[in-house]
């Protein structure tokens, strides 16, 4: 391999090389790969690394109340300067190489001639003589040219089918070049080697060789980068610390608690006077007020003599608040206590208010316990937990239904269809247990349960309503966000059948499996009730004088069966919670 500086070659050789690679003048390249060295990309990579590093450094600890690096010390200026120097120097070097490449009078690349291969990706040529070729072969869709010593080059072929022909041409050209060198034929040497100095050159062409064009600041790159670092690094360091300080202050004021303000005083600088004199004492005063005692307020006043928020401390109306609370307690209702809390949101007597609210819940719970039937020992403890939930989270309670797919209703339809008294599709039992009819029955049961539970527990403390149906295809019950009574039900064929002669029709007995699960969020002991209610065909609903049309007859029979089953299950459920006498009195 021979190193050649393009700009130090005679003008005649420079022109020959430029003409060969740019205009195809002899000797034209046998193979060529265009493109400059990726040196500028390396410098750009350095620039990118320094830029990312600068971002990371500025973000470390930025605005954090918990980090000791929230404000960077002066020592960090060295790191800032180093990163900015690398960023600026990388840009200068990359741009300088771009200018240098664009100033070349030829297209940068690797060119294979009969006598030599010239790596001309920069103005510093690397020349490999073809007489040192180790091999020329096809590799994939490219021609591989390998030299002794292991150096090799790949040239892509636009037409892979011609690769073998190109290999043959390269070998023939090498042989021609070796012959020309052996015979020292000047004409042949000029024809195979673009760097061979001809005996004669144009008398009218330029004599001076090409000059390298470099940006005027190329040699001053380190100086320029150092100047940029000296100016930008302190500025960026100061701006970063100022922004971090402001962010810490904003976060402390947003949290608005003593811990955040103390953290700012430990690490911040710009707003220390404001935080130490006003914001932190105000936060500590709020902490004292949350204690809800006179002692807490007095302690705060003792600990902060001459505080700037003295008027705020003096505005204590605890005695007046206690008097207002006593008036609200005299009404004996939760609504009166809620009105007091809404009217005085910063009353400062939270323990007393909660005690008053709890007394209302305790009174209503005791009233329920006195009339609870005691049939199931789990009911009263469950109701106690239900009252505790309502006191803490609110009055909402939902009743939700889940309808399960029947496993036997299809067989019942098939059976009825084979009976002599089958009256067509209207005789199918499944028609009477579709979604529309099921929803109507659920609504009726839900309203009955909601009304009775609301009246039996406490109309003021509970708001019991019907929630959304559980999807038909749901395998499990959804998680509850409020106390929820889930009622799962279906309708199955009991295996019995019945015939009516007038009006004529075929009917089946129905088994109604019910399961009620009353759940409280976070409570591991839901209340459960299961019941299977079997109903014979309610043929008593049919009368001789009624129409013989089958439609109304089937609907009356099955509706009477379903209605009675739903009411029967509803009463079973209510009897767990409330005495039967109260239910019967209510019905009257």
* Strands 396-403 and 484-489, sheet pairing: parallel
Q: List the domain boundaries for the chain.
A: 1-13+110-213, 36-106+216-267, 271-309, 320-368, 380-587
Residue labelled with tokens 């209702």: 333
Task: Note the pLDDT of residue 283.
Answer: 85
Tokens coding 325: 């609370």
Please tell me what DSSP assigns to residue 277. Answer: I
What is the Cβ-side half-sphere exposure of residue 170, based on CA atoms within 13 angstroms?
A: 29
- The angle at the Cα of 548, spanning 542 to 552, to the nearest 5 degrees, equals 60
Across 147-171, b (16+ Cβ under 10 Å) vs e yields beeeeebbbebeeeeebeebbebbe
Residue 137: its H or E element? strand 133-139
Separation of alpha carbons 119 and 124, rounded Å: 8
Give strand ranges (E) for 22-98: 31-34
Tokens coding 327: 């008036």
Reduce the secondary structure of 49-98 to three states and give it as a string.
HHHHHHHHHHHCCCCCCCCCCCCCCCCHHHHHHHHHHHHHHHHHHHHHHH
- Dihedral angle, C-alpha 43, 45, 47, 53, nearest 10 °: -150
Residue 510: its H or E element? strand 504-519
pLDDT per residue, tens digit, the chain (588 aa), is 899 988 889 888 888 898 888 888 889 898 999 888 777 788 889 899 999 999 998 899 988 988 888 899 889 889 989 999 988 888 888 887 787 788 888 888 999 999 999 999 888 899 999 998 989 988 877 899 999 988 999 988 877 778 888 889 889 999 999 988 988 888 888 888 899 887 665 565 577 788 776 666 556 778 888 888 899 989 999 998 899 999 999 999 999 999 998 899 888 888 888 888 888 877 877 776 676 554 565 666 667 677 887 777 655 545 556 766 777 889 888 888 888 778 766 566 788 889 999 999 999 999 999 999 888 899 999 999 999 999 999 999 999 999 998 989 999 999 999 998 898 888 999 999 999 999 999 999 999 999 999 999 998 999 999 999 999 888 889 999 999 999 999 999 999 999 988 888 899 999 999 999 999 999 999 999 999 999 999 888 887 555 444 558 888 899 999 999 999 999 999 999 998 754 444 443
Residue 189: its H or E element? helix 186-192
Local structure of 124: helix, strand or coil: strand
Fold match flag (1-13+110-213 vs 380-587): no
DSSP string, 497-555: EEEEETTEEEEEEEEEEEEEEEE-TT-S--EEEEEEEEE---GGG--TTS---HHHHHH
CATH number of 1-13+110-213: 2.30.29
Residue 481: which of 527, 520, 523, 525 has the closest Cα?
A: 520
CATH number of 380-587: 3.30.160
> CA torsion sign, 60 to 62 to 66 to 67?
positive
The answer to whether the bond into 389 is cis (omega within 30° of 0) is no
Please tell me what DSSP assigns to residue 276. Answer: I
Tokens coding 302: 């003792």
Cβ neighbors of 1 (< 8 A, separation 6 or more) are 126, 127, 128, 147, 149, 151
Separation of alpha carbons 384 and 577, rounded Å: 12
Cβ-contact 423, 505 below 8 angstroms: yes
- Dihedral angle, C-alpha 384, 387, 389, 393, nearest 10 °: -170
Task: Note the pLDDT of residue 200.
Answer: 60
Task: Note the pLDDT of residue 318.
Answer: 59
- The angle at the Cα of 366, spanning 360 to 372, to the nearest 5 degrees, equals 135
């Amino acid at each position: 391999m021979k190193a050649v500086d393009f700009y130090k070659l005679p003008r005649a050789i420079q022109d020959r090389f430029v003409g060969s690679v740019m205009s195809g003048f002899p000797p034209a390249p046998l193979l060529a790969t265009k493109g400059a060295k990726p040196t500028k990309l390396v410098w750009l990579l350095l620039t990118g690394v320094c830029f990312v590093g600068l971002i990371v450094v500025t973000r470390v600890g930025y605005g954090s109340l918990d980090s000791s690096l929230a404000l960077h010390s002066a020592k960090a200026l060295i790191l800032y300067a180093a990163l900015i120097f690398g960023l600026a120097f990388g840009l200068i070097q990359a741009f300088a190489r771009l200018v240098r490449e664009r100033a070349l009078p030829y297209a940068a690349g690797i060119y294979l001639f009969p006598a030599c291969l010239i790596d001309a990706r920069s103005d510093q040529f690397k020349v490999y003589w073809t007489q040192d070729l180790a091999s020329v072969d096809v590799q994939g869709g490219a021609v591989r040219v390998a030299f002794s010593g292991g150096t090799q080059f790949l040239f892509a072929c636009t037409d892979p089918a011609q690769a073998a022909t190109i290999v043959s041409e390269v070998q023939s050209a090498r042989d021609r070049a070796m012959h020309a060198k052996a015979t020292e034929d000047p004409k042949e040497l000029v024809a195979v080697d673009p760097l061979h100095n001809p005996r004669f050159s144009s008398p009218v062409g330029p004599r001076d060789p090409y000059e390298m064009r470099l940006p005027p600041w190329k040699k001053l790159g380190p100086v320029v980068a150092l100047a940029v670092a000296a100016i930008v690094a302190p500025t960026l360091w100061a701006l970063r610390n100022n922004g971090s300080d402001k962010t810490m202050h904003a976060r402390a004021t947003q949290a608005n608690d003593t811990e955040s303000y103390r953290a700012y005083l430990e690490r911040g600088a710009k707003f220390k006077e404001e935080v130490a004199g006003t914001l932190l004492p105000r936060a500590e005063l709020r902490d004292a007020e949350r204690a809800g005692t006179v002692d807490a307020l007095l302690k705060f006043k003792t600990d902060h003599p001459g505080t700037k928020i003295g008027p705020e401390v003096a505005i204590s109306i605890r005695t007046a608040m206690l008097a207002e609370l006593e008036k609200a307690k005299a009404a004996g209702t939760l609504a009166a206590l809620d009105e007091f809390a809404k009217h005085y949101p910063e009353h400062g007597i939270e323990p007393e208010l909660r005690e008053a609210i709890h007394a209302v819940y305790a009174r209503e719970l005791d009233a329920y316990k006195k009339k609870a039937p005691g049939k199931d020992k789990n009911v009263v403890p469950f109701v106690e937990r239900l009252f505790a939930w309502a006191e803490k989270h609110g009055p909402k309670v939902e009743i939700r239904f889940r309808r399960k797919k029947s496993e036997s209703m299809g067989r019942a339809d098939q059976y009825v269809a084979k009976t002599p008294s089958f009256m067509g599709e209207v005789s199918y039992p499944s028609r009477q247990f579709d979604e529309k009819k099921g929803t109507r029955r659920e609504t009726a049961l839900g309203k009955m349960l909601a009304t009775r539970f609301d009246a039996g527990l406490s109309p003021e403390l509970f708001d019991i309503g019907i929630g959304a149906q559980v999807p038909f295809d749901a395998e499990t019950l959804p998680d509850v966000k409020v106390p929820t009574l889930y009622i799962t039900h279906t309708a199955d064929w009991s295996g019995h059948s019945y015939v009516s002669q007038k009006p004529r029709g075929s009917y089946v007995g129905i088994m109604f499996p019910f399961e009620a699960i009353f759940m409280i969020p976070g409570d591991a002991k839901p209340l459960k009730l299961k019941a299977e209610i079997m109903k014979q065909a309610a043929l008593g609903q049919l009368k001789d004088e009624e129409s013989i049309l089958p439609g109304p007859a089937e609907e009356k029979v099955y509706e009477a069966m379903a209605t009675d089953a739903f009411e029967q299950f509803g009463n079973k459920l209510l009897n767990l919670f409330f005495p039967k006498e109260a239910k019967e009195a209510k019905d009257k």
